[in-house]
A and B are shown apart, each in its own frame.
Chain A
Amino acid sequence: MSILIAILVLGGMCLFFGALLGYAAVKFKVEGDPLVEQLDALLPQTQCGQCGYPGCKPYAQAIANGEAINKCAPGGEDTIKKIANLMGVDVQPLDESHAQDNTPKVAFIIEEDCIGCTKCIQACPVDAIIGAAKQMHTIIADECTGCDLCVAPCPVDCIKMIPIAQTTHNWQWDLNRINVKTIDADDYSNKQSNNVKTNTTEEVNV
């Protein structure tokens, strides 16, 4: 009899706690992995695949699972610093195999060589190549992020990466760095954050 009571008591406690945990599991359900979301927000979203992953989100996932943080070439040192901060690890220099000159480039199709195979269109992560089968393709220079991904699939090697020439139109004056204005101490912090914002937009536009 006492054994029956013991079993009933323990079973009842287990049921009660189980129900409690079940309720908590619903209540505290984690939508996706918040760490991956945060990492994804830090990455430059060029979807270039230079890190060896098919895009920024998969790389964010990989970092969350312990992949090295120094593989994002377009993000450069800034991104590595931010990721290191978020993950609580040390800042590392950009991976050797990915280290490259960071001059902005744009893909260019040598149009007379193009056979219209559409392979580069499939490779382009940002849909910056227009053209159809057996038709000559061309690149929308404004959309191109310079990620190199279309170069390898081209069977006739008619795509080359050309550095963006510095012209009077896209010359960066970096006026923000020549800070000669005297400003109020109160406004200073506001101005500072505004400056940072304009700076980044200009860099993206290049």
Chain B
Amino acid sequence: MVDYLLLLVGTVLVNNFVLVKFLGLCPFMGVSSRTETAIGMSFATTFVMTIASLLSYLVNNYILAPLGLDYLMTMAFILVIAVVVQFTEMVVHKTSANLYRTLGIFLPLITTNCAVLGVALLNIYQQHNFFESIIYGFGAALGFSLVLIMFSAMREKLASADVPMPFKGPAIALITAGLMSLAFMGFTGLIKLQ
């Protein structure tokens, strides 16, 4: 139990996918200009990441590994992720047309969010078991959501701040992201693994 909790906290804070591993930067910069959109994107990505890491574990352990087809891992995982994203897109379109419109192209682009594929592959490389895979995927998504929502809140403040001319727009956003990344480096000593 403690192991699972440590894994979760470790994935959310210490090995944050966006700010420490630098994965999934495209939606991080793209969907963070409004908090509401960022929250919607967080939910969609959390759903996709958790389900995708679960499914990719099953696909790898029960289909690919027994048949010795490990070299197909990346391709099979991309297939799994694309299916989950497509499914999420349908659900979002059905349940919240407004969110579907504001997320726009970024919703199908979760497919190419490298954090999602990253989670699936890292699960295999770190030899996580079934539950660890789910927790790792969920934790990664939680970390992504946390950072994305915090960043969007900051960007909303920045939009009305008196930023010097050369730093206006994406420049100050990138600097903010860098500062956030520095802050997250501070979590490195939080958990000591034996």
Residues of A within 8 A of B (CB): 2, 5-6, 9-10, 13-14, 17, 20-21, 24-25, 28-30, 33-35, 38, 64, 86-88
Contact = CB atoms under 8 A, between A and B. Distances in A.
A33 B75 CA distance: 35
A33 B98 contact: no
A30 B64 CA distance: 36
Contacts of A14: 79
Contacts of A20: 83, 87
A30 B90 CA distance: 9
Nearest to A25: B90
Contacts of B79: 10, 13-14, 17
Contact of A21 (B72, B87, B102): B87
Nearest to A6: B69
B94 A28 contact: yes
B67 A13 contact: no
A13 B59 contact: yes
Given A9-B67, A9-B72, A87 B83 contact: no
Contacts of B87: 20-21, 24
30 contacts: A2-B69, A5-B67, A6-B67, A6-B69, A9-B63, A9-B67, A10-B75, A13-B59, A13-B63, A13-B76, A13-B79, A14-B79, A17-B79, A17-B80, A17-B83, A20-B87, A21-B83, A21-B87, A24-B90, A25-B90, A28-B90, A28-B91, A29-B94, A30-B94, A30-B97, A38-B97, A64-B101, A87-B98, A88-B36, A88-B102
Given A6-B69, A28-B91, 20 more contacts: A2-B68, A2-B69, A5-B67, A6-B67, A6-B72, A13-B59, A17-B79, A20-B87, A21-B83, A21-B86, A21-B87, A29-B94, A30-B97, A34-B97, A35-B101, A38-B97, A64-B101, A86-B98, A87-B98, A88-B36
Interface residues of B, number: 23
Classify the interface of chain A: helix, strand, loop or mixed: helix
A30 B72 CA distance: 35
Interface in B48-86: 59, 63-64, 67-69, 72, 75-76, 79-80, 83, 86
Contacts, number: 52
A6 B68 CA distance: 9
A14 B101 CA distance: 29
Nearest to B92: A28
Contacts of A35: 97-98, 101
A10 B91 CA distance: 26
B168 interface: no
A20 B86 CA distance: 11
A163 B72 CA distance: 76
A24 B94 CA distance: 11
9 shortest A-B CB distances, which residue pairs? A35-B97, A17-B83, A28-B90, A28-B94, A34-B97, A6-B69, A24-B87, A24-B90, A30-B93
B75 to A, nearest CB: 7
Nearest to A14: B79
A33 to B, nearest CB: 7
Q: Which of B64, B83, B86, B93 has the most CB of A within 10 A?
A: B83
Contacts of A6: 67, 69, 72
A9 B79 CA distance: 12
Nearest to A21: B86
A69 to B, nearest CB: 14
Contacts of A87: 98
Given A20-B83, A35-B98, A88-B102, A10 B90 contact: no
A2 B68 CA distance: 9
A88 B186 CA distance: 37
Contacts of A34: 97
